[in-house]
Amino acid sequence: MKRMVNVVALGVIITAGLATYAVSGTESGTDWSLQVESNKKVWENRIVRVAKDQPYTQINVTLNGSTSSHKGSYFEQLLDFRTNFGEDSRSFKRALKQLDYAQRIWTTDGEMAIGQKDRDTLVLLKSKDGKEVDVTEFKQAREILESGWKGFYVYDGKVHLLYDQNYETTNHHVATFDESTKTFVTQKVDRSKTLIGGVVGAEWSWYPSAYQGQVATDNRYIPIRATALETLQEDTGEEYTSEMDLPGLFVYDAKENKVVTVNQSEELQGMLFKGQEYRAIRSDRTELIIDLNSLEQTTRQVIQGTVGSITYIDQLIYHVLPTTEGAMLEVYDEEDMVSRASIKAEGVSGQTANQQYYVY
């Protein structure tokens, strides 16, 4: 079976005090300096990553110093990112690696994962602390294993998995698992014209995305990435159909088994689960907060000035706005700015062009 692995974008994290810290970028002929104006605490255990695709360059900055590399690979980045997490969930990670592949979520009840064992067995893993792992096997699950997974969630005390039957993009189904009987039932999803591209928060990875917050296990509305089929035409006149992402916020109603449009045509930045809340930043600099049981919406002003890129870390908002010399960085605790910093390239002119700055 072939599976497409969806990797969480690696971010840049900064840890600095009230002084300026230099980043040695000798291979690229450029030094980087980071200056934090206030609140050292929110930068502790953080890393600032400056990346450039051509040629591939990666510079990490922490309070303990900096490193640079031109030789990064996908797996090296994964391994480097995993070192940010402790050994508390070692048993859970080990159980994940026993499966052919696995998709996981982080909930208020702990970590959960679903994966494949053998050709027709689906395995559910649950762990409250990462040490003790409950394992449940569901036999005769070949139909699900030979389908395209969109993600899973917990609702009404049971785990549910959304999938495209036989990899047919327009044929959404949901499987509901009963752990007590080790059985499952499936039904077709009422999607109208909107396709489910994926469940937000469900990831193909070995490590927990602790930065994104924990989703409650009794939410009725499940945030999804929505897509639609679009017919495109080649220069030769030949037409083909492609699945395109839709802007806005869409959810899957777990109770009514249907896709619901919450906010259409608006680009949202960042994402955070906080129990029964789903949070994101809108283009007007406000934070949108959705109650995942009622779909009630509230907003509050957070970002000051132009909106750049957003990462939620430990429920704080890390905001990065590129400048001609580097980037400005701000940290918000709800609507209050609690720290400001900047990163700047020194040395070779024009080195900031096409640079990417990540915070995670």
Answer whether residue 153 is part of any domain: no
List pLDDT tens digits, range 265-295.
777 888 889 999 999 888 888 999 999 999 9
* Residue 81 phi, psi dihedral angles, 5° rounding: -65, -35
> pLDDT tens, 294-318?
999 999 999 888 888 888 888 889 8
At residue 279, the 3 state secondary structure works out as strand
Which residues have C-beta within 8 Å of that of residue 127, sequence separation ≥ 6?
89, 91, 92, 95, 110, 111, 112, 133, 134
Is residue 170 domain-resident? no
Question: Could you tell me if 259 and 222 are in contact, meaning their C-beta atoms sit under 8 angstroms apart?
Answer: no
Q: Does residue 103 form part of some domain?
A: no
Q: What percent of the chain has pLDDT over 90?
A: 37
DSSP H helices, the chain, are 74-82, 90-97, 142-145
Mean pLDDT is lowest, of 10-14, 135-139, 325-329, for: 10-14
Total domains, the chain: 1
What is the model's pLDDT at position 35? 77
Does residue 126 carry a pLDDT above 90?
yes
Of 220, 281, 292, the residue nearest 256 (C-alpha):
220
- Calculate the CA dihedral of residues 146, 150, 152, 156 and round it to 10 degrees: -110
Q: Give me the pLDDT at residue 352, please.
A: 60
> Is 58 part of any domain?
yes
- Residue 356: φ, ψ to 5°: -120, 135
Among 296, 127, 144, residue whose Cα is nearest residue 220: 296
Is 303 inside a domain boundary? no
One-letter identity of residue 242:
S
- Average pLDDT for residues 157-174, to the nearest whole number? 94
Q: Please give the residue range of the domain that contains residue 79.
A: 1-85+315-360
Assess contact for 253 and 220: CB atoms under 8 A: yes
Q: For position 353, what pLDDT does the model report?
A: 63
Residue 284 lies in a domain: no
What is the C-alpha separation between 116 and 125, in angstroms, rounded? 11
Give the per-residue pLDDT at 96: 81
In a domain, 102, yes or no: no
SS3 310: strand
Report pLDDT digits (tens) over 1-22.
Answer: 434 433 333 333 333 333 333 3
